[in-house]
Amino acid sequence: MASDPTDLTRRYAHELADGLRSGAFSAREVTDAHLAAAERDNRGLHAWLTIDASTARRQADAADQTLAAARSEGPAALAALPALLGLPVALKDLVSVEGGQCTAGSRILEGYHAPYDAHITERLRASGAVLLGKTNMDEFAMGSSTEHSAFGPTSNPWDLDRVPGGSSGGSAAAVAAFNAPFGIGTDTGGSIRQPAGLCGIVGMKPTYGRVSRYGIVAFASSLDQIGPFARDSRDAAALLHAVAGRDERDSTSAPMPVPDSLLGLAASDDAAAGALRGKRLGLPREYFVAGMEPGVEARVREAVAALETAGAIVEEVSLPHTEYGLATYYIVAPAEASANLARYDGIRYGPGRRDGDTLANVLATRGEGFGAEVKRRIMLGTYALSAGYYDAFYLKAQKVRTLIKADFDRLWADGFDALVAPTSPTVAFRFGARLADPVAMYLSDACTLPVNMAGLPGVSIPCGLSEGLPVGLQLIGAPWTEAELFGLARGYEAITADAPWRSVEPAQLAQAADPAGPTPAERAAGLAA
């Protein structure tokens, strides 16, 4: 289905920003259009856990007042306005918003309301963005399908019987379904890039430390990073520019300047395509993993060929320690999770048992409040950190992590501008297909995990369809090269601007909007039966 140019929800965020500044439409109109889409689709998609229409409209009205004042002052005042002013954003439900719910997809935080804003919430408010609500996610960001949400799964708008990826599946589905032009996710092992790939949108994991984690519910503190979703690279870059920067409240937040070039990606396709000439890109052979679907590999290799035709230099390279990335991640991440989740005891956060002694209440609260995947990872992490096993597992994993990073460092030292690889070895899979086999689920992130282990930036961009479902192309860069990666992504968008697949919308949006249709939970139950 071709997009309707008169529908505000179909416009890119930078197009909406231009229209707001010209007065072609108002922030209230933009917000109402996206709220209507989110409310209409949420039964069929379950992308949203809460939609805060009253707050969003107040923020939109405030943006309209700012826009009107700037228009009266002239072009210079309009040019000085924040890029995100009046534009709707979907927040993953582990971002603290003062007074709002923050469940992290878990029953153990049901009823908890954040007493303060996260750093990125402060940044978004300062930019004049409109916060539409909170999106569904795998519990405590532990999952690759959003099936581990305590509040039920989310459907992929391309096929409602399939997952959107995870753990940021709600935000990815909301952006892909035109419920919001922007979304916020977190990426611990691929949880922005993998759902972006499976939903056919752009998603970036920035360099570790680029965005403050203050006010974000923690999973694995040395791996977690906040990043943007959008439908093209210009919009994703603008959202990253708004939320990135040093924050004294987060000791891991880096004192690195945020490049204004994130707001200056080429508007002209010719200029964007020209920037690809002479770029040296590495193609890691290890990322074409066993079990990769032929259609996925074909689309990725076609994308690589298109980059070469545009003047990029692509060379096959090796990252020899990639094969240890999955095992290393599933020692480090659960170990950090077991420590971070120790705070959830029913005394300070959310519901808790009160009918026994303190220890019995804590055990009962955690037993009832945590889901199966969270319990699995807590047990793995606790075991890896226990006396007699710390050196054998956790310490060894950290040493291997250093080797994984050294593989990337060698390529940067050799002069590569970026690496190009698949985002996911498969397209979106059906509900329930991997729930009985956790290892098969973990393999969903085989192409994304090493980037987190090395603390690098990576972006997933759409590169075509396989059997009618999106395929993601991943670009990986050296630390602090987010702007350069977005420049490459913008170049790829330019050279494929006329590709037929770019005009194809998610195939099952109409079914998602059917008020009598099944919910994702009902679909999942039906497939299981």
**pLDDT tens-place string over residues 184-206:** 999 999 999 999 999 999 999 99
Q: How far is CA 215 from CA 76, 122, 332, in A?
A: 35, 10, 22
Query: Alpha helix (H) ranges present in 177-324?
Result: 193-199, 233-243, 269-274, 294-309
E strand or H helix at 119: helix 119-127
Instruction: Give the pLDDT of residue 528.
Output: 86
Instruction: Give the pLDDT of residue 353.
Output: 85
422-475 pLDDT tens trace: 999 999 999 999 998 877 787 788 899 999 999 999 999 999 999 999 999 999
- Decide if pLDDT at 5 tops 80: no
134-178 pLDDT tens trace: 999 999 999 999 999 999 999 999 999 999 999 999 999 999 999
95-139 pLDDT tens trace: 999 999 999 999 999 999 999 999 999 999 999 999 999 999 999
Instruction: Give the pLDDT of residue 6.
Output: 59
Structure tokens, 308: 């070469």
Instruction: Give the pLDDT of residue 432.
Output: 96
Cβ atoms of residues 281 and 307 within 8 Å: yes
Separation between Cα atoms, residue 310 and residue 116, nearest integer Å: 48
- Decide if pLDDT at 1 tops 70: no
Give residues with Cβ within 8 angstroms of 302, minimum separation 6: 463, 464
Instruction: Give the pLDDT of residue 438.
Output: 78
- Asked if the peptide bond before residue 26 counts as cis, ω within 30 degrees of 0, the response is no
Mean pLDDT estimate for the chain: 96
473-519 pLDDT tens trace: 999 999 999 999 999 999 999 999 999 999 999 999 999 999 999 99
Instruction: Give the pLDDT of residue 4.
Output: 53
Cβ atoms of residues 241 and 83 within 8 Å: yes
Instruction: Give the pLDDT of residue 192.
Output: 98
37-63 pLDDT tens trace: 999 999 999 999 999 999 999 999 999
- Decide if pLDDT at 86 tops 70: yes
What structural domains and CATH numbers belong to the chain? Answer: 8-250+272-324+399-499 (3.90.1300.10)
| pLDDT above 90: percentage of residues in the chain | 92
Confidence class for position 10, pLDDT limits 50, 70, 90: very high
| pLDDT above 70: percentage of residues in the chain | 99
226-238 pLDDT tens trace: 999 999 999 999 9
Give φ, ψ of 49 to 5 degrees: -90, -35
The span from the first CA to the last CA of the chain, in angstroms, equals 32
Catalytic residues: 92, 167, 191
Separation between Cα atoms, residue 85 and residue 162, nearest integer Å: 34
Instruction: Give the pLDDT of residue 3.
Output: 43
User: pTM to 2 decimals?
Assistant: 0.96
Centre a 10 Å sphere on the Cβ of residue 442 and count the other Cβ atoms it contains: 18
- Decide if pLDDT at 211 tops 70: yes
Instruction: Give the pLDDT of residue 442.
Output: 74
